[in-house]
Structures are given as structure tokens and as C-alpha cells.
Chains A and B, each alone.
Chain A
Amino acid sequence: MNQYKMCMIPAVPLENVQLMKDRVVFPYACFRAFGESLRLVTKSTGDYPYLSYLEGAQLVTLPKEQPHMEAAIRYVSEHADEIDLLFLFGARGEYMELAHTYKTLRPDGIIYLKLDANIDWMSALPLFHKPFSDFLQDCDIISCEGRRLQSLLYKKWQRPVEYIPNGVYYPLYPATDDVRYEEKENIILTVGRLGDIQKNSLLLLYAYALAFPNLKESWELVMVGSVTLEFQSDYEDFCKRFPSLAPHVRLTGNIADKQELYQYYRKAKIFALSSRGEGGSPNVFSEAAVFGCSVITTGVDAAADMTDHGRVGRISPDIEDFDGYAKELTTLCNDTDYLARNFHQMRTYIKEYFDYDRLASRLRMLIELQLLKRRPS
């Protein structure tokens, strides 16, 4: 089996927190699965303490005096022979020259582009701009994070686009090994920037209020994340309007300590997502799923992927439909058998289809197929 020298170059300089996100974690999983080396090439934005979680990965800091992409292109020009597999993240114009430079120097190399995109962004791409369409041509493998988006891209680009969802790198989640359904409580959990327009947090808050009288047991709503001033004010209005519900709704604020956050996932039976839109399945979904939470979501691009078309979760398609979301939430909370059964089903589903180790193995096979294609028949 080939061992690849890998390199990941972000379109904009990496921050420490991004070392734990898909743009780095997936290349890292690939490195562990079939890599000889992995270089993360970026201009420095400060310290990178999270690098300690990525054993074996090498951070290459670009010179400060040059713009990030200019320095990255220079790096590729000088080190192309040390890069067999180039990871790019996002269909961004910044990459056009970089990809062309690499392909010119290493026509035998592989460029893998992980789109990290939603439908709105992809619809706005300048496909008729030749340098941009050439950039897409330079990419040997392109993947997107949702099947709905994949379907759109086939129609729009008429080229193969693989489905590789935002996944889970299990070595980063040792806390999931001993999770048991019996330890879970009647908690509906959400995690995100509360009050952010994209997160649509009010939908969840008021849907919970609508569902509350119909719940057979007492359920608590826990909202984790930084809170905008507007949402804080909305929350206070909510508490005044529904004083009997107020004790059941908790805003924890931002939780930076992952272990503390995992305790919430561990205890919650239900994870709620009320977003207006997401690029693929959000990281918080994957985290919730590995802890066996049943998911309820709005009809974001990846809703069907997250719930396996409603099998391991529920979808309330309309982002403005408070009654619909409340109805789904009520059904989910009251179906204790389903929640217990789904604890295992969700964990199995996420393990089988979102495990970055397995996805990395599939990417390796896709790379081998590309190499086979290049061979004279």
C-alpha cells in the first residue's frame, strides 16, 4: 500500500482551534491511515497548543512578511516533490494559482478538495470564470459534505463529486467508550452560538414551550454556547412570559473545556438543531451522535444525512414552523422506547458512516482509482 507525503494548506491562516476541526482532523486521519508524513502549512496566528493532539503532524509556518497565499505558492514551488497528496479546504478563488502551480510541478500528484460548502455558496460560484473552472479541473478528487449538495453539484458541474461528510475522529473522543443510555437524563441539548441568525435559536426555545404541556415526563432544555445580547434579552422575555418553564431552560454560556461539554452530551437524550442553514452536517451533530443522542433538526442541507432519512432522528423541514418543530420534539420526547433503541442505532450509524478512519480508507481507495485511471489501458 502506498504511503503518501501529505500536505494541507488552508486558504487563510490556521488558528489553533481549527486544528481540531474538519479541515485538519480529516487530513490527520488520512495521515494516520495511509500517510508517510503530514505538513500543515500556514502563516502563524499565534500559539498552537492543540498540535499536541496531532502526534506526528508537522506545522510549517510561512514567513510573516509575505501574504499567506503568496507564501504558500512559494512553498509549494519549492517543496512540490515532497507533496504526493495536497489537501485543500473550500472552493475558494485563493487556491487557483496554488493548485495550478502544484499540478504543473507534480502532474502525478493528487489534489483533494474538501468543499466545506452549502448550497447557497455553491450556487454563487463563478463557474464561467475560466481560472476558477480550471482550478476545479486541477482537483483530482472533490468531495462535499451533504448528499443534497452532491446532487446539486452533479447537475451544476457535471463532474464527479464524492460524498464525504464531516465526521468523527474517535481517538479525540475517548469519553464515548463507556457511554450508557441508562445514565442519560431527560435533557434536550443544543450547542452553538445562541442568537446567531444562522442558528435560529428562538425556534428551539419557543418550540420547547409549545411542546412542554404535551410532554409525558419533565424535560429540561440546556442551551450551550456564547449568547448574543439580543438572545439574552429574548431569553429574559421568555422567562417572564413563561415563568413556569423558566426553571427548565438553562443557558450555560460558552464551554471551552471539551471534557465539561462532553458531560452534557453524555447526559442528554436529545440533541436539537434549529439552524437556518449549515455547510454539511455540523461538528456538534457528530459529537452528539457519538454520545448516542437522538437528533431533531430543521431541514438543513444535511438533515437527511444526519438522520439517515429520518431513521435515527427527526426532521422538521420548515425553519419558521414552530408548531411543526414542537410536534416533532413532543413525539421524540414521548417515545422512550425509540430513544433507548436509537441510542445504539445512532452510535452504530455514526460509526459506520461518519468515522474519519473509515472515511479516510475510502478516500485512499478513491485516490488509488485516480491513479489506476491514469495508467495506460
Chain B
Amino acid sequence: MIVKITDTCITLEEGADTFTLLKKPVFPHFHDNVTKRAYISSYYEAGETIWAYCQASMETLADLCHDDPYFGCYAMLFYRLYPLLLSSSQAKNVISYGLPVNCGAHQVLQNFMTFLQEGNALTILPQSPFSLVSLGRQSSHAFLYCLDVCPTLTAVCDAICKVKPGGILILYTIREALPAELSGLCPQAKKDRFGTCTLYTLTADEALSEFASANGSENAILSRADKILQRVNDLQEPLQAMLAGAALPTDVYTITALILQQTEEILLSIYDYLENDELPIRANNLKEAVLSYLVGIDGGFDLTDYREKLTQSSESFFAAIQKEFS
């Protein structure tokens, strides 16, 4: 895959296939354009113009990244970002998730954005979904998201929530197949594909924002917290009966252990957001105490110590849950 640059056009080429990235813009009503900034006026002057800078940027990108499997994606990111970056004189905040910090594309894009407007920012997030939730809502004009780093709907929705209304989310990938959980979202996007590289561009409108809020991690955490509390509630009665020494059918112990196992798994699914990271293991310890108690009953053993452990594990678990979720 190569970049071909002429006086009026920049294209990606591979074999006989061509993808037009940018055409030299024409401003028929230049003086009415909202972007009356120096860099626009320089467009007609002898100095470096946006177009010339863009040409140089694409050359640099090709030099630095031609061996990178994501080269085509980076070039197409320019194609999708260019109109947004030039849309107004407002400084733009672009966030990238999955772009390596030491990647040439990062430097090229940042330089180009700074050339356009000194206040433009390209922020590269660490490659952890946790970094997505640390940003304010609607804080960026564009979000560049590498799907191959974290192909989950929750994380993509978290990214969407960070885009201002009218801004764009660009998902890029070099993988052939889309993850199943994203198959509902991506068909709504503008799709650009060249070679192995694919971009999905979504514009943040009301419907998309609602969808993202419903499927993002904040909602997922709240919904899982509800499920945890529901299960904790379900556990109270059987555990109290066990601790009181009531004769219970074996199924009660099994179901209690099963609920604890589910609780443990839900807690692990929101592990990164827990204040007390010992909660999942407390659930496991309580499950272990319930099962040991049942082993004791089945074997006709003295239950004193088992009940004592069950009491301790139970108190410790419920106290920790209450502290976490109250």
C-alpha cells in the first residue's frame, strides 16, 4: 500500500485499487468562511499552505509507517478528520485509544493539528478500558478508537459518551470480522475500507448518545450493582437458617453456593471499579464455608467449627458489601 500525492489529490493505492483521501479544497467564498484565521489566509499566499502541509504530512506518514499494518487506517483517519478539523476555528480536542504513543502517525497527526490551530490537542489514552471512564462526558470533538485493542461494546459506548454532539467516533481495525457484540452498532456507521483496513465513522447524535449511555460501563456497573444487591438479598434468609442450625434440604446449600458463585463472578466483572478489591474473594470464602458446612452435614461430622467459619465468613462478606454499596 502506498500514498500517491499530486498537486490536487492524495490517494492510497494498492495494486489496481485506489482510495481518494483528499482533494485540494476550493474556497469559492473564502471571505465568508468562518475560519478567518491566519492559516486560512496563508492558503493563497506564498508561504506554506494547509494543502502543502497536508501533502508533507502524508509523505512523512508514509515514510514512518509504510511497514505498519495500520498504515492504511492512519491515512484514512486523516481523510475523516480533515473536514472536522477545518470545520471551525474552535480548538479541537481529539482523543485516541489504541494508537501507540511512539507511533509515527501520532506525531504526524499532532503536528498537522497544531499547524492548523495551536490549541488543538491529540490525547493518547493508555491501552486500558479503565482510562475511558476517567474522561469527562462529551469532552472531545473526535475519538479515534482501535477496535483491535478492545473490541467490546461497553468500551466503545464509553468512547461514544466522550464525544461532543456533532462530533465523530472513528473505529478502525485491520481484522476481517467484526465482534458479534458490535454488529448492531457498526452498520449505522459510514464505512471506509481499503485493503485490510476498515474505518467506521459514527456521528454523535441524540440516538447514538442514548444507545451509548444505555450500553456503557456506567450503566453496566449500576445494573451489575443492582444484581449483586439482589443476590445478596436472596442470600440472607438461607444463610440465617444455616447459622441457626435449621435442618434444610441439600438443595438450599447448593442454591446458596450457586448464588454466591454468581455474585463472585459479577463482582469480578466490575473488579476495576470496586473500592474494596477483596469483595470477590470474600464471596468465594463464603461459598467455600457453605460447601464445607454441607460436607460436614453429609459426612455426619461435628459442625461446630464449620458453623464458626460460616459465621465469620458471612459477617465479613455482608459487612464489606454494605460498606461498598450503601
Residues of A within 8 A of B (CB): 150-151, 154-155, 158-163, 348-349, 352-353, 358, 361-362, 365-366, 368-369, 372-373
Sample of 11 further A-B pairs with CB below 8 A, known A161-B284, A349-B305, A358-B296: A154-B277, A154-B281, A158-B271, A160-B264, A352-B292, A352-B306, A368-B254, A369-B257, A369-B261, A372-B258, A373-B258
Hey, which chain A residues are within 8 Å of B130, CB to CB?
Answer: none
**In the bound complex, do residue A362 and residue B268 qualify as a contact, i.e. CB atoms below 8 Å apart?**
no
The answer to whether B292 touches A358, judged by C-beta atoms less than 8 angstroms apart, is yes
Contact A361–B299 (Cβ < 8 Å)? yes
Q: Evaluate whether A365 and B294 lie within 8 angstroms (CB atoms) in the complex, with A160-B264, A373-B261 already known.
A: yes
Nearest neighbor of A349 in chain B, beta-carbon distance: B305
Bound together, the chains give a CA A204 to CA B308 distance in angstroms of: 34
B277 / chain A contacts, CB cutoff of 8 Å: 154-155
Supposing A358-B299, A369-B258 touch, asked if A154 and B292 sit within 8 A by C-beta, the answer is no
Instruction: Return chain B residues, CB-CB under 8 Å to A353.
Output: 292
Assess whether B291 is interfacial by the CB under 8 Å rule.
Answer: yes
The interface of chain B, by Cβ under 8 A from chain A, is 254, 257-258, 261, 264-265, 268, 271, 277-278, 280-281, 284-285, 288, 291-292, 294-296, 298-299, 301, 305-306
Known contacts A163-B288, A369-B257; is-contact A352 B294 (Cβ 8 Å) = no
Contacts A352-B301, A369-B257 given; indicate if A362 touches B284 (C-beta within 8 A): no
Contact B261 A160 (CB under 8 A): yes
Q: Cβ of B264: which chain A residues have Cβ within 8 Å of it?
A: 160
Tell whether, in the assembled complex, residue B294 and residue A162 are in contact, meaning their CB atoms are under 8 Å apart. Answer: no
Residues of chain B within 8 A of A158, CB atoms compared: 268, 271, 280
Q: State which of A154, A349, A361, A372 has its C-beta within 8 Å of the C-beta of B295.
A: A361
Say yes or no: A362 contacts B288, CB within 8 Å: yes
Q: Least Cβ distance of B223 to chain A in Å? A: 17
Q: What is the CA–CA distance of A150 and B284 in the complex, to the nearest angstrom?
A: 10
Q: Do A159 and B268 have beta carbons less than 8 Å apart?
A: yes
Q: Which residues of B contact A155 (CB under 8 A)?
A: 277
A14 to chain B, nearest CB (A): 29
B284 & A160 in contact (Cβ 8 Å cutoff): yes
Among A348, A349, A361, A372, contact of B298 (Cβ-Cβ < 8 Å): A361
- Given A158-B271, A160-B268, A362-B288, are A348 and B295 neighbors across the interface (CB < 8 Å)? no
Q: Classify the secondary structure of A's interface with B.
A: helix
Q: Which chain B residue shows the least CB distance to A357?
A: B299
> Is the beta-carbon distance between B278 and A151 smaller than 8 angstroms?
yes
Give A162 to B287 CA distance when docked, in angstroms.
10
Q: Give complex CA distance A353, B268 in Å.
A: 26
Residue contact B292 to A362, C-beta cutoff 8 Å = yes
- Whether A162 and B288, one on each chain, are in contact in the complex, defined by CB atoms closer than 8 angstroms, is yes
The reply to whether A365 and B299 contact each other, CB–CB distance below 8 Å, is no
Nearest residue in B to A358 (C-beta to C-beta)?
Answer: B295
- Chain B residues with Cβ below 8 Å from A358 are 292, 295-296, 299, 301
C-alpha spacing A125/B268, complex, angstroms:
20
Provide the bound-state CA to CA distance between A348 and B306, in Å. 12
- Chain A residue numbers with a CB within 8 Å of B281 are 150-151, 154
Which of B265, B294, B295 neighbours the largest number of chain A CB atoms within 10 Å of its CB? B295
Which A residues touch B285, using CB under 8 A? 163
Partner of B284, one of A162, A349, A365: A162
Closest to B280 in A: A154
Q: How many angstroms from the CA of A154 to the CA of B267 in the assembled complex?
A: 11
Q: How far is the CA of A362 from the CA of B295 in the complex (A)?
A: 7
A372 to B287, CA, bound (A): 15
Complex Cα spacing A155 to B285, Å: 15
Q: Complex formed: what's the CA distance from A352 to B280 in Å?
A: 24
With beta carbons under 8 angstroms apart, the residue of A151, A161, A366 that contacts B291 is: A366
CA distance in complex: A162, B261 (Å)? 11
Given A150-B281, A155-B277, A362-B292, does the pair A348, B268 have CB atoms closer than 8 Å? no
Expressed in whole angstroms, the Cα–Cα distance for A160 and B265 within the complex equals 7
Residues of A within 8 A of B284 (CB): 150, 154, 160-163
Known: A151-B281, A154-B280, A159-B268. A362 touches B261 (CB 8 A): no
- Which A residues are CB-close (under 8 A) to B292? 352-353, 358, 362
Known A150-B281, A158-B268, A369-B261; judge A352-B305 contact (CB<8 A).
Answer: yes
A353 to B258, CA, bound (A): 21
Q: Once the chains are docked, how many angstroms separate the CA of A154 from the CA of B264?
A: 11
A353 to B292, CA, bound (A): 8
Residue of B nearest to A365 (CB): B291
Candidates A159, A362, A365; contact of B254 at CB < 8 Å: A365
Checking B257, B268, B271, B278 against A365 with a beta-carbon cut-off of 8 angstroms, the contacting residue is B257
Most chain B CB inside 10 Å of its own CB: which residue of A154, A159, A361, A362: A154
Q: How far is the CA of A373 from the CA of B254 in the complex (A)?
A: 12
CB distance from A377 to the nearest CB of B (A): 10
Whether B298 pairs with A369 at a CB distance below 8 angstroms is no
Q: Which residues of B contact A151 (CB under 8 A)?
A: 278, 281
Bound complex: CA A278 to CA B181 (Å): 44
Q: Using Cβ atoms and an 8 Å threshold, which residues of chain B touch A366?
A: 291
Bound together, the chains give a CA A349 to CA B306 distance in angstroms of: 10
Q: Please list 7 pairs of residues, one from A and one from B, whose beta carbons are closer than 8 Å in the complex, sorted by A's number.
A: A154-B281, A159-B268, A352-B306, A358-B296, A361-B298, A362-B288, A362-B291
The CA of A323 and the CA of B270, in the complex, are separated in Å by 45
Residue of A nearest to B301 (CB): A352
Q: How far is the CA of A159 from the CA of B280 in the complex (A)?
A: 9
Query: Provided the pairs A162-B284, A361-B298 are in contact, do residues A348 and B261 lie with their beta carbons within 8 angstroms?
Result: no
